[in-house]
Structure 1
Amino acid sequence: MDHYSKESFMLTQSVGFTLNTARNVITAEMDAALRDLDISSQHMVILLSLTHGVATTPFELSKLLDIDTGLMTRMLDKLEAKSLLGRSRSVDDRRVVNLALTSKGEEVAARIQEIAPQVLNARLKKFTKVEFDELCHLLRKFVGD
């Protein structure tokens, strides 16, 4: 079923525009909430991915965040300069760089896990449980999961 046509399509009314606006709102609110930790929402994803073992190499993180390896390297450089993570070469394959949180990185990640739910809950406060579940379901359907 087609939901848009040449005649009915309006950029500011499109799903893509609305999703991008929603992403921008959440990113701005999360970045503001994380300011005291001196990290961004993109840094947050890296730190939490390492905490939970979702991704442990720059390549895996690049795929997860859908960003190029050059940008990933610059973000990892910043986190390493802040003493939040360390890099080490794999003993099995010297081409692979493994990432690990430092103790300071683990502390920051623990704080993130207190802050992030507050930011998201504030944005979702007008949603009922059923609406929230449906939103999550529809977004997963939209991205193909």
Structure 2
Amino acid sequence: MNHYSKQNFRLTESIGFLIAKARNILTVEMDAVLKDLDISSQQMGILMSLKLGLAATPFELSKALGIDTGLMTRMLDKLETKDLLQRSRSLEDRRVVDLALTKKGEAVAGQIPGVAPDVLNAHLKNFSKAEFEELRRLLRKFLDE
């Protein structure tokens, strides 16, 4: 089913626009609360993915977070410079780079759950539990997950 046509398409009412706007607002606010940890919201995603074991290589991170490999490499460079993660060649396949949090990276990742929920909760304060669950369900459906 097509929901948009040339006749009814309005940029500011499109799902793409609304999702992008919501993402931009969350990014700015999340970056602000993460400033004291010296990381960005995108770097937060990398650190938390590694901490939770959701990914262990740059490719897996790129896929999990929806970030192209070029940008991922630059972000990993920054995190490595900050001594938050380390790269090493896989012993099984030298073409693969394994990622691991350093002790400092573990410490920073451990602080994220103490600050990140406030940003999200501020935007969800007028949602009932059912609406919150429905929003998550619909976003997963939109993403085909």
Matches within 5 A, 1:1-145: 1-145=1-145
The alpha-carbon deviation at position 66 of structure 1 amounts to: 2.4
Measure the CA separation in 1 of the matches of 2:135 and 2:74: 34
Please report the RMSD computed on the Cα atoms of aligned residues, expressed in angstroms: 1.1
Q: 1:78 to 1:15 in 2, by over 3 A?
A: same
Structure 1 unmatched runs, 5+: none
TM-score, length-normalised on structure 1?
Answer: 0.95
User: How many correspondences in the alignment?
Assistant: 145
Measure the CA separation in 2 of the matches of 1:96 and 1:3: 42
The alignment-based identity, stated in percent, is 67
Q: 1:4 to 1:70 in 2, by over 3 A?
A: closer
The alpha-carbon deviation at position 2 of structure 1 amounts to: 2.8
Q: Residue type matched to 2:128 in 1? A: T
Structure 2 unmatched runs, 5+: none
Measure the CA separation in 1 of the matches of 2:32 and 2:117: 14
The alpha-carbon deviation at position 114 of structure 1 amounts to: 1.2
Measure the CA separation in 1 of the matches of 2:50 and 2:96: 15
1:88 aligns to what SS in structure 2? strand
Task: Report Cα offsets for 1:78-107 as digits up to 9, x if no partner.
Answer: 101111011111111111111100111001
TM-score, length-normalised on structure 2?
Answer: 0.95
Measure the CA separation in 1 of the matches of 2:140 and 2:107: 31
The alpha-carbon deviation at position 29 of structure 1 amounts to: 0.9
Q: Residue type matched to 2:116 in 1? A: A
Measure the CA separation in 1 of the matches of 2:4 and 2:95: 47
1:35 aligns to what SS in structure 2? helix
Greater shift after overlay, 20-29 or 61-70?
A: 61-70
Measure the CA separation in 1 of the matches of 2:28 and 2:118: 14
Measure the CA separation in 1 of the matches of 2:90 and 2:4: 49
